[in-house]
Structure 1
Amino acid sequence: MEDFWFRYWWLIFPIGFFVFGAWDRWLSYQRSRDTIDLIKTYTAQGKEPPPELLRRAQGDYPPPPPEDFYGDRYARRAWRRYYRWGPERNWRVAVSVGTVAAGFWIGVQMGYLPDASGAFRFVAVILTCVAAGNLALALMGSMFRRGPDRD
């Protein structure tokens, strides 16, 4: 049994990610269920729910800019798309995945676990490709921004 933990210690990380991801989804479900219950309470009493409550039920977005912020009718949709899929997201993913890939490359070069160097190299190559792809997307997204008038 002790040999099992020394061979598969790295399984702690994906299992931890799965557990915390499931916990995050459960909390999101509870939050949305409570919001819908509160909206039902307002409608059962014949009152209009507050706009903040309705916005919270639609998603976890920050409040949108004013309608005349971009100066055209596509402002809200362009802002929402940029918030979700803008280059900042790609920059964050490129930096975080690149850091993890660097850690695996260091693990391969140092040779602390000679039995796992092949697996570490394989993971490092894949993570490096993912980081390079997100870096390219972030660079293109930063240089060639689409405005709301070119939607």
Structure 2
Amino acid sequence: MDEIFRSYWWLLFPLAFFAFGAWDRWLAYQRSKDRLELLRTYTNQGKDPPPELIKALRDEEEEEPTAYEPYDRYGRRYRRHYLRYRLLGPYWAWRRTLVTGSVAAGFWFAAYYADLPGVDWSFQLVAIIMSCVAVGNLIAAIFSSTFPPRR
């Protein structure tokens, strides 16, 4: 039993991320439930709920930081444009291809020339996976260069 904890200590990190994610979702559920209960209380009394409460209920799933609102001149339209034409454009696709290809080449180099005993197979496995990712990025880069997104 002691060997399991010594061999798989790294599983504590994904389990902790899962636990904190579940806690965050539970707190969001409680917050939503409390807002709906407050809205129900207003309607049972026959009063109009404040507009801030209705806005909070409407925009609950879309929580953006308000610190950048004075600097956000174009809003969602600009962000959509940025995502579509900048991050998904040919430049970024070729850049992803070069980065993943060079990382794959580095792992292939390490797999054949590493002097550490017992790591050649693990380096080869990572190199195979990174090579597949690099080929996928190459195909995406070719398609994004051939068929650029419409403006």
TM, length-normalised to structure 2 = 0.50
Superposed displacement of residue 133, structure 1: 1.6
1:114 aligns with 2:122: no
For the aligned residues, what is the CA RMSD? 4.6
Deviations 1:22-74 (A, max 9, x none): 1453244134213312321331232252424532x32456799658x58xxxx
User: Is 57-66 or 111-120 further displaced after alignment?
Assistant: 57-66
Superposed displacement of residue 105, structure 1: 3.6
> Is this contact kept in 2: 1:39–1:53, CA < 8 A?
yes
Relative to 1, partners in 2 of residues 1:114 and 1:133: Cα closer, same or farther, differing over 3 Å? same
1:54 aligns with 2:58: yes
> Is this contact kept in 2: 1:100–1:127, CA < 8 A?
yes
TM, length-normalised to structure 1 = 0.50
Name structure 2 gaps, 5 residues minimum: 43-48
Name structure 1 gaps, 5 residues minimum: 71-77
**Corresponding residue SS for 1:114:** coil
Amino acid at match of 1:29: R
How many percent identity over aligned positions?
Answer: 22
Amino acid at match of 1:124: A
Query: Highest CA radius of gyration, 1 or 2?
Result: 2
Equivalence map 1:61-100=2 (5 Å): 69=77, 79=80, 82=83, 87=88, 94=96, 98=100
Superposed displacement of residue 145, structure 1: 1.9
Q: Which residue of 1 aligns with 2:28?
A: 32
> Is this contact kept in 2: 1:35–1:53, CA < 8 A?
no
Relative to 1, partners in 2 of residues 1:114 and 1:27: Cα closer, same or farther, differing over 3 Å? same
Amino acid at match of 2:55: P
Match of 2:149 among 126, 130, 145: 145
CA distance in 1, matches of 2:63, 2:144: 23
